[in-house]
Each structure stands twice: as structure tokens, then as C-alpha cells.
Amino acid sequence: MALKLTARQSQILDLIRQAIAANGRPPTRAEIADALGFRSANAAEDHLRALARKGMIRLSAGTSRGIQLVEGHEDAAPIVGPAAHGAASAPRLVQAADHLLLPIVGRVAAGHPILAAEHVEREIPVGAGLFSQAPDYLLRVRGASMRDAGILDGDLLAVRRSPEARNGQIVVARLGDDVTVKRLDRQGGRLRLLPENPDFQPILVGPEDDFALEGIAVGLIRTGALH
């Protein structure tokens, strides 16, 4: 009978799987601490030792990336389906009931749907409990315009598709041929897309502009520390 994991242990196990799937190697203790907001790598080490005691991973002394998924557990949430052929649609449940298989969307070509097959880099299993709302895809962030909101270049923004959003929400919007991540600002009849970096200017959306909301941000996966 499998030992029950805490929510935090499940998050760390998901992070290890994601790092291995994306980069071919596990994260360091410091990278885990940074990704999950721990104050020190020691907190990550405590959770890793608990996962090792429960038989989910093996730890190797003397190496910063000495984390190995235990045989029989490393495939608990495999990438399945048509990912190898570049196809993607809505997220699908994978073998583990608490995981979603989400497409990672890279650079979006002008005038093409966000989830067009040519935009999808790969699909990865993500713990459904990581987000308050289930996302439909992960958008790879480009640039530093949302830096002060903690959204950095290369991060994976979890997005739920929606044609509507509340004032102040961080959204994925299409303006003409460009897809951008900004904070939605509605004041009376005025609509603006606000950056979270003083080096960038707000974008004023006029009634004549080709504008559409593609979705709202429901979470973030920090990837910069895992390279």
C-alpha cells in the first residue's frame, strides 16, 4: 500500500518530474527552494528526505543533483498521447488522476490560434493541485514586461482559456498580430493593458483595434532556476 504524500511533498515530486522531463536532469536543493518559495535549501532537503523515506526517490550524497526517481514511481505521470507528433488541445488527464497533461506554448505566429500544433513545444504532466483553477495550457513568457509581478522571461504561465476577465487580472491578450501578457485595466470606456515594469509603457486599446482576450493567468511555474 502506497504511503500518502503531503501536499508539499507532492509539489516537490511534481517539480522533480517536470525538471527531468524538460531538462533531462533533476533540480538542485537550491532550485527547489527558489521555485517553491522556501527560505533556504535546508527546507527542501527535509522534504526530499521525507520523500526518500517513503520510497519515492533516492538521494545520492556529494552531488547537488543527486535525486533519482525510484523505479516504479518515475512513470507515475508519464507524457502520453499525441505529444510526440506536436498535437495539442485541451488538457487531458493522464494515468495519475491528480495530474494534467498540459501543452507548453512557445512563440505564437501572427494570426494563428495559440494552441496550433506548430506553437506547442511539448506536453508535460503537472499536478492538478498546483493551481486554484485548472489551466488549459502553459505559455512560455517572453521578455521582462511583467517582471515586477514576479513573471520572468522563460517562466511558464498557467492559463485558463476565457474570453472575459475581471478588472485587474493578469491576462493573455491578442492585439493585432501580437500575443501579450499584461494586467487588464478597465476605467469607464477606456481599456488598457498594463505592464509590471516601469521600462515598458501601457498599451491603450481603442475601439478600432483587433483585440481579443485569450485567457487569464491562474498560476506560474518558475523554470529559470532549473536550467
Q: In the annotation, is 145 catalytic?
A: yes
Secondary structure letter of residue 1 according to DSSP? -
φ/ψ region of 68 (left if φ > 0, alpha if ψ in -120 to 50, else beta) reads beta
User: CA 93 to CA 78: how far, in whole Å?
Assistant: 11
| Listed residue (53, 68, 61) closest to 19, CA to CA | 68
- The one catalytic residue in 10, 64, 89, 145 is 145
Contact by Cβ (8 Å): 197, 147: yes
- The one catalytic residue in 4, 54, 162, 182 is 182
| Listed residue (162, 159, 163) closest to 221, CA to CA | 159
Query: Which ranges of the chain would DSSP assign to H, the alpha helix?
Result: 7-23, 29-36, 41-53
Give the catalytic positions in this structure: 145, 182
